[in-house]
Structure 1
């Protein structure tokens, strides 16, 4: 019985390719035209490529399913050169056969015996209406413009989903600069100081770690140094890793030379949740990622670039420890590299990520789960495991970053609209209450600051415990007056549809 699969799904099944599952496989169905149908791309029998003709399925996929470099990198070298040339003779200037020939030569490392230059307009490899694309680099032989996010040695793809398009339309970075620029100088400094501190604490908290004061200060300084726009190099990343690690035995001197993995706490192979690429491949791909990180923020939307860089880094896992928080630091590094972060501006994305940990995990698992299927892990003894990669290195070279970029954009939106806005509202409320109370009563400044902060964080109530705590330094009528003023300010803010009690700052005070 013939397979009903078409295009990429057909190639994967027929050629036994080691790739991630096709998200929307093309399948022959009783329909009159090619159309999405549920989680499939329904294809009428009359429009399906001939069974067994892999080249025809490649052309079908390029035309109707987009560009899947992971599949093409493994499939095209298995198609004979004579077959490619026969198809080329049918349509010497056809856009899709030119794309296929361009990629065939790139992935096979062999030149097709064809020296007649195609005529007509050059064609883009990735459709800009379907994908977020990079600057075009022309291959004059086939008149194909490679416009991927990376190179043919390492390339991410990001589809223009409705969610991503809507988030890009918000101009999050522009609104962030406008918002910070609209604040009085003193307020801006305080809001940014809060952002740096809580970005640090929540980046560590995601990994279930509470940093010491010294470690927290070092990380804050790293965030501030990102504004120096230093390009990524191995030495620079090693220095960053060393700055975030307390145990001197865990500090790296170079990218890793041994296999590492992530573990969920269970014993043996069952506890291994993700295995990054082998060391040699990791080092090769880190060179590609650093090249992308140093160029892309200046060429494409910086938030898109930062998402690819951050998640790409953590998927490669170039160090034995410290990869997670460094990956989140790279979001800021990319935004600063682009020049989008002026006046020390910082979007506290880790604060938003901490609040959205489940969504963060889902974004990570969009890659880590299918990648885990290509590793055979054996438990030898105690903590000793053996790792055998059964996949193809293309799964690490060519990856779909759509979910990761969508998550990064959403966290940037929340960092602006929730974290920074609400913290600023809190600071406004704090200033109003503190000023009035301080003018009327003679209370030690540090005590008053704590009481006002606690009252605002508790819906305008000074709790019994706080009254008891400060009973010998603060008169009783001060507690009542603080409550009165706090409730008044909170009510005024509520009329503006602002609820400061949802603030991340308050929840951690």
Structure 2
């Protein structure tokens, strides 16, 4: 089986790129067919392996836009070759896309024969295949750049069946309808629970148990997501300082040195991810903040929030606190898009922690293949030399499809399995409490605990609890609690 398109370009032309999710191969077929995630084509459809422009045009036509590869391969094509091809077929939309990108990545102008193109504008990313933005027109090639970001930093999110099915559920709209329907008291208590659990679980993902002071600061941080302040370096430094209690680890700016992630093993083998160098990191953060601050109105907020959150982790602009801040940014983008109302925060970190292996798998889809382009030399404890053998395009253009799918699933679970469950718990708690409080004279603090115990034990007040409270609560209250649970929970 002969690779063709992007896979062929990566493997035969020294391109530093993460293998694409969709590949193309020459197989024993009579026409183009999809076989799993592979596009199978007959030999007659495949350009010659040494035909760079032919391979590029095949890839753009059949596989879509992969800027990570195109940024590196297009400058290898001589201007005369691409000019000659365009002059011969000026109506080809795939050549127009290639020419538009060639001029950007090569930094030159194609001296084409015709001054004006009269064909209709075409989107660079096919909206049927990708989640796209509003679009910016390029009059020279009559191309609409509609990617998520810019040609300096662009995340692609493929419109897979899985992602589209999740987006079609209108999860955020339903969450807003749900919170609108809650009584004020229940809403406030549900929100208090959500803020606290998002805080605790966000720290738990980092294997930390926050002190009351840390938890309080992170809750305050989450509430800031609902403010209208845009992201900039000063604001992100403030946020980093808020989540890091060690004054020696608090940042004054984006990092000026190389950082890395480790699995705890000694030496270079223990280095599992190397983010972009400090200079590139700063450039990428400018682009990422612009994407977060000026969200395209046509972009689904869940998708935008997901790529900003994961993009922040991949850049890793601080020496510490990046994970917690990335989960804050997920909420911040949703709030700036107007997608989270009534002060709502989604307890997605509960889901991330409960599905930690899946969360790590999504992160590793980027971190593991990009790590292969770093030579890491170990000298001594925490002393390494890092040499990047790849290309900036690795970090500038990445596929965020798995990230968006994962966060959409996490959002659904956070709403359906946690927010609604907590609301139901509070509603049942209130009703059982009222029933007992009307019939018996029990101190509120004792009654509150007993109701909680009864709910936690699925309608039973254990012998241990009966003994513990026998001199503080009339004996008949214990049985009354169990009867109230039966009426409120089982019989309704």
Question: Is the Cα contact below 8 Å between 2:133 and 2:296 reproduced in 1?
Answer: no
CA deviation map 1:255-286 (0-9, x unaligned): 00011111112111222111111111000000
Counterpart among 6, 11, 14 of residue 13 in structure 1? 11
1:380-459 to 2 correspondences below 5 Å = 380-459=379-458
> CA offset at residue 297 of structure 1?
6.0
Aligned equivalent of 1:28: 26
Cα deviation code 1:376-414 (max 9, x no counterpart): 122211232221111111110000000000111111111
Distance 1:491 1:137, change over 3 A: same
Answering whether residue 95 of structure 2 is matched by residue 97 of structure 1, we say: yes
Give yes or no for contact 2:15–2:72 (8 Å, CA) kept in 1: yes
Gaps of 5+ in 2: none
Which stretch shifts more, 412-421 or 141-150? 412-421
Displacement of 1:345 in angstroms is 1.9
Q: CA deviation at 1:14?
A: 2.1
Match of 1:216 in 2: 215
In the other structure, the counterpart of 1:277 is: 276
Q: Where does the alignment leave 5 or more consecutive residues of structure 1 unmatched?
A: 494-509
- Separation in structure 1 between the aligned mates of residue 2 and residue 223 of structure 2, nearest angstrom: 56
1:331 is matched with which residue?
330
Deviation at 1:218, TM superposition (A): 1.1
Q: Are 1:286 and 1:316, in contact at CA under 8 Å, matched by a contact in 2?
A: yes
| DSSP-derived class of the 2:100 partner | helix
Residue 45 of structure 1 is matched in structure 2 by 43
**Correspondence 1:251 to 2:250:** yes
Distance in 2 between residues matched to 1:396 and 1:430, nearest whole Å? 50
Q: CA deviation at 1:97?
A: 0.3
1:74-114 Cα distance to aligned partner (Å, 9 max, x none): 00000111110121122112100010000001001111122
5 Å matches for 1:303-342? 303-342=302-341
1:274–1:371 Cα contact (<8 Å) kept: yes
Kept in 2, the 8 Å contact 1:241–1:326? The answer is: yes
3-state SS, counterpart of residue 240 of structure 2: helix
**Do the aligned partners of 1:297 and 1:306 also contact (CA within 8 Å) in 2?**
no
Residues 313-335 of structure 1 deviation map (CA, whole Å, 9 limit, x = unaligned): 01100000100010000011001
Query: Shift in Å at residue 300 of structure 1?
Result: 1.4
- Is 1:87 matched up with 2:85? yes
Q: What is the distance in 1 between the residues matched to 2:399 and 2:66? A: 9
| Aligned residue in 2 for 1:128 | 127
Counterpart secondary structure, 1:227: coil
1:299 offset after TM fit, Å?
A: 4.4
Distance in 2, Cα, partners of 1:72 & 1:123: 18
Pairs within 5 Å for 1:152-171: 152-171=151-170
Partners of 1:159 and 1:59 in 2: CA distance: 19
The 8 Å contact of residues 442 and 473 in structure 2, kept in 1 or not, is answered as yes
Query: Counterpart of 2:104?
Result: 106
Q: Give the C-alpha shift of residue 474 in structure 1.
A: 2.5
Residue in structure 2 matched with residue 69 of structure 1 by the alignment: 67
1:501 equivalent in structure 2:
none
TM-score by length of 2: 0.97
Secondary structure in 2 matching 1:128: coil
Q: Distance in 2 between matches of 1:108 and 1:288?
A: 20
Distance 1:109 1:319 in 2: 32
1:343 is matched with 342
- Does structure 1 retain, via aligned residues, the 8 Å contact 2:285–2:315? yes
CA distance in 2: counterparts of 1:435 and 1:278, whole angstroms: 60
Deviation at 1:50, TM superposition (A): 2.5
Q: CA deviation at 1:19?
A: 0.5
What's 2:351 paired with?
352
Provide Cα deviations, 1:335-363, integer angstroms capped at 9, x if missing partner.
11012222212222222222222221111
How many correspondences in the alignment?
491
What secondary structure is seen at the aligned counterpart in 1 of 2:385? strand
Which residue pairs with 1:59 in the alignment?
A: 57
How far apart, in 2, do the equivalents of 1:52 and 1:181 lie? 61
Offset of 1:161 from its aligned partner?
A: 0.6
Aligned-residue CA RMSD (Å): 1.4
Tell me which of the two structures has the higher relative contact order, counting C-alpha pairs closer than 8 angstroms and 6 or more residues apart: 2
Number of the residue aligned with 1:372: 371
Contact kept, 8 Å, 1:298 with 1:337, in 2: the verdict is no
1:368/1:469 Cα in 2 relative to 1: closer, same or farther (>3 Å)?
A: farther
Matches within 5 A, 1:139-218: 139-218=138-217
Does the aligned pair in 1 maintain the 2:133–2:297 contact within 8 Å? no
SS at match of 2:176: helix
The structure-2 alpha-carbon separation of the partners of 1:374 and 1:355, relative to structure 1 and needing over 3 Å to count, comes to same
Q: TM-score, normalised by structure 1?
A: 0.94
